[in-house]
Amino acid sequence: MPSSHLNASIPPENQEQHTWRPLRLLNYYRLFLASAFLIFFSFGFTGKILGTQQPTLFFWTCLLYLVISISFIYTAYTRRPEFKQQVGIQAAIDIITITVLMHSSGGIESGIGMLLIVNVTASSVFLSKQNAYLTSSFASLTVLAEQYSASYLQLGEIINYPKAGILGVLLFSSAIIASTLSTRSRESQALASQTTAELADLEKLNEHIIKNMHTGIVVVLPNGQIYMANEAAEVLLGNRKLDGRPHLSSISAPLYQRLREWLKSPNMEQLPLQQEQGLVDLQPGMSMLDINRKDSEIIIFLEDAAQLNQRFQEVKLASLGRLTASIAHEIRNPLGAINHAAQLLSETLKDSSNIKLSSIITTQVQRLNHTIENILQLSRQNASNRESINLFNWLEAFKIEFCSSQGLNQDQLLIEITPRDTEILFDASHLHQVIWNLCSNALSHSQKQKQQTAIQLLGGVTLDSRHPFLDIIDNGKGIPPELVHQIFDPFFTTSSAGTGLGLYITKEMVESNRAKIRYIPLPRGGSCFRINFLASHKSNSIDDNYDNSNTTEDHGKPNTQAGNQRLI
């Protein structure tokens, strides 16, 4: 007998298939059997077989069996009483009815008793082993009782107990076989249903995990057609909808080109993939779904390269922090002593050449101390606490502070943000240091008089990716093209007084806020550093028709024509 947990795991449609539906078929069989007996008996098609001993009893028993069969069909559809009760009642009535029909037709010799095998076997399919044994025992005893009553009443010509015994053995055998096979079938069905349910749950779990994971998953065919993708992939690819099986080249041409290169050289190193302005850089990874098939689907894993870089930087900064913490005390104390001694020495010196040498010592000590401060600041850099910031309002407040601190006129720092309600997601303290560093660099590297230096802060929202950005533009000479790829490297500087950590720290702070900073060369001179921010959820919807001509032009480069006219 199947265990309770297996029965409970069978879905309702499978329970219907293994219980009520076959029971209704058995009722139709009873109806057919009773109708056939009545027709054959009424028209005498069977000769001297049906109802030969007691015709009246045979006729009324068949008629009653017909009515009972109809009532069984009704109760099977209404399912009242419950299933087990119906099976037990119907099995008992079948045994009694067929035995009476056999008795009225001449006993065991009539052959009608063989019909008991069909009914007992069918009933055993629905019953447990114990109940199946009980049903077959009741049928065997009924047959023996019929033979005994026929012998007692001397109705039959031949009383055959051996045949009755053989029929009883057949009834037991058929009941055992039917019950065993039915039990195993129910157990197998329950196990299959349980396995199917577990697989369905596992499929839902996998779908939920893939859908909500931060890593983008794109499954493509070898020809580049997208088979499926999760929401993270759609976000990383610029909020592009990937349903409908589009071609990868229409979604991201660089990624499709990388896929073709990987198919030719699967062991190639996967470098970060730069997307268009405003979109995050991607770190792709590719793998065959089935390495044994040449036409297997390909899984492309996409991650935000800035996030990966941030994790590496955290490890690097942690190591740097431990290093600087161990040597800072050993270096700064001697520097302090040297600086103090140089100052005391300069007070006692009267020779101008010696005073100049003392000044050189003091200047270089201060420079070295400044370098240590920058390294310590880099190693102690805290995690970003991003918040929603109105870019225009924040820059207006920054402008007042910066111009006052640097002694600039207000018209030397121009701010244009379109639209005015542009919101960004950034750490306010980090943003202050980033913009301050870039504006300070514009002043120190402009090679012009301070009063001739002009800085523009132009920003807004890109029309293609809908991400906010800010351009910091100056009117200096710009950076030579051969040095552009090195400006964000640590300790790289073109100034004898610089430490080479300013832009590096700036880039680290920007990327810790999941933003990006890039240098954009200007055709008419000057430098432009563009920061692409994360959009705040508080941002209002942007009008697609707003005029962005003062900030961007084709290919994502800033339009500085109007701005440079102001600078000149």
DSSP characters for 506-539?
HHHHHHHTT-EEEEEE-TTSSEEEEEEPEEPTTP
Q: What is the pLDDT of residue 513?
A: 85
pLDDT confidence band for 379 (50 / 70 / 90): low
Q: Which residue has the higher pLDDT, 388 or 132?
A: 388
User: What percentage of the chain reaches a pLDDT higher than 90?
Assistant: 15
Confidence tier at 220 by pLDDT (50, 70, 90)? very high
More confident residue, 412 or 382: 412
**What is the pLDDT at residue 543?**
40
Q: What length is written for the chain? A: 568
Region 67-73: what's the mean pLDDT? 92
Q: Domains of the chain, with CATH numbers?
A: 4-203 (no CATH), 214-304 (3.30.450.20), 308-379 (1.10.287), 387-567 (3.30.565.10)
Q: Is 52 exposed, middle or buried (0-12, 13-18, 19+ CB in 10 A)?
A: middle
Higher pLDDT among residues 357 and 399, named by residue:
399
- Tell me if 472 sits within 8 A of 539, measured CB to CB: no
Confidence tier at 175 by pLDDT (50, 70, 90): confident
- The amino acid occupying position 182 is S
3-state helix, strand, coil in the chain (%, to 5): 60, 10, 30
Say how many CA atoms lie within 13 Å of 451 toward its Cβ. 0
pLDDT value of position 154? 59
Highest mean pLDDT among 155-164, 296-305, 349-358, 359-368: 296-305
Task: Report pLDDT for 531.
Answer: 94
Q: Residue 388's pLDDT is what?
A: 92
**What single letter denotes the amino acid at residue 206?**
N
Confidence of residue 392 (pLDDT cuts 50, 70, 90): very high
DSSP secondary-structure letter at 488? T
Position 8 scores a pLDDT of 43
Average pLDDT, the chain: 80
Region of poorest pLDDT, from 27-41, 279-293, 418-432: 279-293
Rounded average pLDDT over 166-182: 84
Which residue is associated with the tokens 């596992």? 202
Q: Output the six-digit token pair for 25.
A: 């078929």
Phi, psi of 530 (to 5 degrees): -105, 130
Q: Is the pLDDT of residue 553 over 50?
A: no
Contact status, residue 558 vs residue 527, Cβ threshold 8 Å: no
Tokens of 493: 């500087």
Round to whole Å and give the CA distance between 55 and 286. Answer: 85
Q: Which residue has the higher pLDDT, 561 or 445?
A: 445
Who wins on pLDDT, 90 or 537?
90
∠ CA 174-178-184, rounded to 5°: 150
Instruction: Specify the range with the lowest mean pLDDT, choosing from 70-74, 101-105, 454-458.
Output: 101-105
DSSP state of 450: G
pLDDT given for residue 546 in this prediction: 36
pLDDT at position 564, please?
A: 36
Distance from C-alpha of 478 to C-alpha of 140, rounded to nearest angstrom: 108
pLDDT-derived band at 47 (thresholds 50, 70, 90) equals low
* Residues paired with 303 in a beta bridge: 283
Q: What is the CA radius of gyration of the chain?
A: 46
Q: What is the pLDDT of residue 423?
A: 92
- Predicted pLDDT of residue 382: 57
537 pLDDT more than 50: yes
pLDDT at residue 528 in the model = 93
Is residue 122 pLDDT above 80, yes or no? yes
pLDDT of 424 over the 90 cut: yes
How many CA atoms lie less than 13 Å away from 230 in the CB half-sphere? 18
Pairing of strands 455-461, 413-418: parallel
Mean pLDDT of 212-232: 86
Please compute the mean of the pLDDT values over residues 4-14 and round it to a whole number.
45
**Residue 134 · residue 105 · CB < 8 Å:** no
Model pLDDT, residue 416: 94
More confident call, 19 vs 67: 67
Predicted pLDDT of residue 324: 66
The pTM score is 0.43
Q: Is 208 helix (H, G, I), strand (E, B) or coil?
A: helix
pLDDT at residue number 496: 62
What is the pLDDT averaged over residues 7-14? 48
**Cα(282)–Cα(151) distance, rounded to whole angstroms?**
96
Interatomic CA distance for residues 540 and 466, integer angstroms: 12
Model pLDDT, residue 490: 76
The whole-number pLDDT of residue 200 equals 87
Instruction: With cut-offs at 50, 70 and 90, classify the pLDDT of residue 377.
Output: low
198-210 pLDDT tens trace: 888 888 887 777 7
Mean pLDDT of 286-315: 81
Between 53-67, 213-227, 425-439, 541-555, the lowest mean confidence (pLDDT) is in 541-555
**What does the alpha-carbon distance between residue 568 and residue 562 come to, in Å, rounded to a whole number?**
10
When pLDDT is averaged across residues 223-248 and rounded to a whole number, the result is 86
Q: How many CA atoms lie within 13 A of 102 on its CB side?
A: 27
The per-residue pLDDT for 158 is 52
Q: Are 93 and 68 in contact (CB under 8 A)?
A: yes
